[in-house]
Amino acid sequence: MKTNPGNYFEDFRVGQKIAHATPRTLNHGDVALYQALYGSRFALQSSDAFAQAVGLPKSPLDDLLVFHTVFGKSVPDISLNAVANLGYAEGRFLRPVYPGETLSAHSEVIGLKENSNRQTGVVYVRTHGMNEKDEQVLTYVRWVMVRKRDPEAAVPDAVVPALATSVPAQDLHLSPHLKFDALFDTSISGSKHCWDDYKIGEKIDHVDGITVEEAEHMMATRLYQNTARVHFNQFSEGKGRFGRRLIYGGHVISLARAISFNGLANAHIVVGINGGRHVNPLFAGGTVFAWSEVLDKQPAGHRKDAGLVRLRLVATKDLPCSDFPDKDANGAYPENVILDFDYWAVMPRA
């Protein structure tokens, strides 16, 4: 058979290394489409002049565009037969990516655990994104529930990797060329609030809502060359469990991150992903809102110009966030909460 059937749970082995197909050169067209799809306004990614004023050669690509591109490469090998994308951990962005760079990806299987019904199992992979010079730009772990081809197939003993609850601050990468104090004008960035102004425990309602259309999430997901079928095929999904196309979870992350500009305008760079769960599905026609919580603050090494802030980004559908809708004491989420994402960002200090 010449078409790719994807891997099933019993095809994976711990320690297996998989080179993913289709390297992808990202360019100014991807930047503009990302802009048109999400409406992001972080100055560093929006303006070459701003980027140069703080020490970079030009605007880097949005970190999440890099993430989605690397993630997309892994789909045909890892999650074509997935039931659900369960979580992320240990994500680190290791260097800025600029227009013209070519990204490729490879993964290592680091854990496997069959489910008790023997129909499915959880696959843990560590995925690495590389540029065309074979420099690593991103690494992260994700785990995903994958169907078995044959429920009776024998599988190896369970291996569940020990994953960090969050990426330690000292392991995060911040470009040494970036100098926020060189020329940081908060009237240009859209907010005067810098690292020192945020308190641990503080919650921010990002106020704005964005309704998602079918054309938008499909264009985004194709831009990332993500081939998961649930996003594109109304003919088959119309007969499936939701009766509709499911929106790629990463689309929600990018929408929520763009919405979070209103309240976090100086959180210019995502440097780490501590965790993330897509706790409910989103469908076209839904309106996405978001709120953030400051989980932690750490210095960025010995730097005086920048600090690290650990943020929890919660997205909802059709539910404004002035009341900070959240999971209950048992960890159960209301049906309108769709994303719980935990990341590290870099902010300038005052």
Residue with Cβ nearer a copy of itself (19 or 350): 19
Choose the binding region for a copy of itself from 88-96, 98-106, 173-181, 301-309 (rule: CB under 8 A): 98-106
Which runs of E-coded beta strand occur in 226-336?
269-278, 287-299, 306-317
Question: Could you tell me the smallest distance in angstroms from the CB atom of residue 34 to a copy of itself?
Answer: 9
* Distance separating alpha carbons of residues 226 and 269, to the nearest angstrom: 24
Among 39, 57, 156, 168, binds a copy of itself (CB under 8 A): 39
CA–CA dist 182, 168 (Å, integer): 27
Strands 287-299 and 203-205: antiparallel
Q: Does 322 bind a copy of itself (CB under 8 A)?
A: no
Among 115, 166, 191, 298, binds a copy of itself (CB under 8 A): 191
Minimum CB–partner distance for residue 334 and a copy of itself (Å): 16
Given the complex with a copy of itself, which of 22 and 170 has the nearer CB atom? 22
Sign for the pseudo-dihedral over CA of 288, 196, 35, 227: negative
Instruction: Determine, following the binding rule CB under 8 A, whether residue 102 of this chain makes contact with a copy of itself.
Output: yes
For helices 249-259 and 214-223, what crossing angle results, to 10°? 100
- CA 66 vs CA 70, 130, 162, 196, 322: distances in Å: 6, 10, 26, 28, 31
| Interaction mask 236-265, a copy of itself, x per CB under 8 A | x--------x----------------xxxx
Among residues 7, 8, 10, 30, which is the contact residue for a copy of itself, using CB under 8 A?
Answer: 30
Shortest separation between residue 151's beta carbon and a copy of itself, angstroms: 23
**Residue list 209-238, contact with a copy of itself (CB under 8 A):** 209-211, 213-216, 218-223, 225, 227, 229, 232-236
256 by Cβ neighbours in 10 Å (0-12 / 13-18 / 19+) ranks as: buried
Nearer to a copy of itself, 83 or 210 (CB): 210
Strand partners, 120: 147
61: enclosing H helix or E strand? none
**How many residues in the chain?**
350
Confirm if 133 and 41 have CB atoms less than 8 A apart.
Answer: no
* Shortest distance, position 20 Cβ to a copy of itself, whole Å: 8
What span, in angstroms and rounded, lies between the C-alpha atoms of 180 and 177? 10
Tell me the sheet residues that pair with 200. Answer: none
Q: Alpha-carbon distance 223 to 231, whole Å?
A: 13
Site for a copy of itself in 134-173 (CB under 8 A): none
In the numeric block, the tokens 């079928």 are attached to 229
Stretch that binds a copy of itself, among 7-15, 111-119, 164-172, 206-214 (CB under 8 A): 206-214
Nearer to a copy of itself among residue 122 and residue 255 (C-beta): 255
Residues 49-88 that bind a copy of itself (CB under 8 A): 49-50, 58-59, 76
CB of 41 to a copy of itself, least distance (A): 5
